[in-house]
Amino acid sequence: MTTPVTPSIAHGQPWTVAGTTLSSRFFLGTSHYPSPQVLSDAVVASGTEVLTVGLRRLQPESGGGNSFWQRIQAMKCHILPNTAGCHSAEEAITLAQMAREIFGTTWIKLEVIGDDYTLQPDTVATLQAATVLAKEGFAVFAYTTDDLVMAQRLRDAGCAAVMPWAAPIGTGRGPLNPYALETMRRRLPDAVLIVDAGLGRPSHAAQVMELGFDAVLLNTAVAQAGDPVRMARAFADGVAAGRAAYESTPMPERAAAQASTSTVGVPFWHSS
């Protein structure tokens, strides 16, 4: 059965990142989909307004990827180019500068990988590159770990958004250290924080949004689902539900049970 393609309407109050006002808090990647049409349908179903695109996917030096780029442009979303595959600050800076020329945007998703097995970012090199790019006028969306001190330093370097992982890229395991994420949100109340990588289910997205994160960014969880279009919509609903829960101020957790129905004034009978 083909999933009907209808736009997500799970948009909340507008919010701002890098000087741009958005309604959706769901950023979506564009790789590994079964077909270009499934990608297009998933984007519509997700209601996303921001798409990440890898410069290497386009192969600009050979003119490759033109049809893919034309399809992306037709979706009328904000483009967030990324430096995926870079292993040094210098390489990431060069790729970011190329992306600015090709895509016509100062937005850049900064990725500098330090370990090829876990795809854990090299946070030292990330900070070096972020510092240079921010000074050059880029709006840097920095992929990092859930380390609070590094997140503070990336914010202080001028990053438009700090993007900690929930778990290693592509694992789909969900938040491995919710405490670290919660602490980061509490300690950086004015920073734009976007969870990037490791989310596998809509409930994972709802969980991190309930902590107060501004948005989530994911790719594999939608692209490699059995039904990417339906999963894209499910994630949009999860993001919206988590944000609504956060804004509604959830009840406090308690150590003991507490009756939800009052017994004050209710007669009490007992048998003799």
Rounded CA separation 150/157 (Å): 10
User: Is the distance from CB of 260 to CB of 48 less than 8 angstroms?
Assistant: no
Is there a binding annotation on residue 172? no
Is there a binding annotation on residue 249? no
Rounded CA separation 52/80 (Å): 5
Q: Torsion angle of alpha carbons 170, 23, 43, 144, nearest 10°?
A: -20
76 catalytic residue (yes or no):
no
Pick left, alpha or beta for residue 51 (phi over 0 → left; psi -120 to 50 → alpha; otherwise beta). Answer: beta
Rounded CA separation 196/217 (Å): 5
User: Is the distance from CB of 110 to CB of 140 less than 8 angstroms?
Assistant: yes
Is there a binding annotation on residue 74? no
Identify the active-site residue in 109, 185, 204, 233: 109
Is there a binding annotation on residue 205? no
User: Is the distance from CB of 27 to CB of 6 less than 8 angstroms?
Assistant: no
Is there a binding annotation on residue 219? yes
The catalytic residue positions are 109
**Binding site members for 1-deoxy-D-xylulose 5-phosphate:** 170, 197-198, 219-220
Residues making up the binding site: 170, 197-198, 219-220
